[in-house]
Amino acid sequence: MPLLPTFRTGITLRWTRPDDPVAVALARAQQRELTLSNPPDHVPHGLRDDIVFVVAEAEGTALACGALQALEPGAAEIKRMYVRPEYRRTGMSRLVLAAIEERAVSHGIEVLRLETALAFTAAVALYRSVGYRPIPAYGEYVGDPLSYCMERRLSPRS
């Protein structure tokens, strides 16, 4: 069992660039897991340079990450949500998601979108539990049979 309960007061969230070594390592771990669960011919979707990552850490240990990428004026996308396996089911994903939503609101974002897959039942349940609703595939996900897209309208109190 992870030691996360002892970290509760020591968790730090920091925003960083996509080339930050800790963010890179977490994002690569996320992509490795996705590769294992996707068909061999599935092509991962890339990131743009304007993305920003939030990294959750405690006592020098990287626990989780997520990213925010602009889509269009007033809209952004959640990317690379990932919690290291040993810290799952501890509320870490909710903490990272809340940080992403807070930053989005502070930057005038009114709509957050995301792409996942129905097969990732824990992720879908998390997003649904905080108000994300299914939407038609958008952007690079149109035509991808594995993509399941969701959206949430934010308010200044999200």
Is the per-residue pLDDT at 62 higher than 50?
yes
Q: Residue 100's pLDDT is what? A: 97
Question: What pTM value is reported for the model?
Answer: 0.86
Is the per-residue pLDDT at 91 higher than 70?
yes
CATH number of the domain within which 32 lies:
3.40.630.30
- Residue range 21-33, pLDDT digits in tens: 999 999 888 888 7
* Mean pLDDT across the chain: 87
- Asked whether residue 152 is assigned to any structural domain, the reply reads no
What residue numbers bound the domain in which 100 lies? 4-112
Is the model more confident about 157 or about 15? 15
- Asked whether residue 148 is assigned to any structural domain, the reply reads no
What is the domain count for the chain? 1
User: Closest by alpha carbon to 93, among 16, 25, 26?
Assistant: 26
- Residue range 97-156, pLDDT digits in tens: 999 999 999 999 999 999 998 888 999 999 999 999 999 999 989 998 888 999 999 987
Q: Residue 45's pLDDT is what? A: 57
- Asked whether residue 33 is assigned to any structural domain, the reply reads yes
Q: Residue 4's pLDDT is what? A: 42
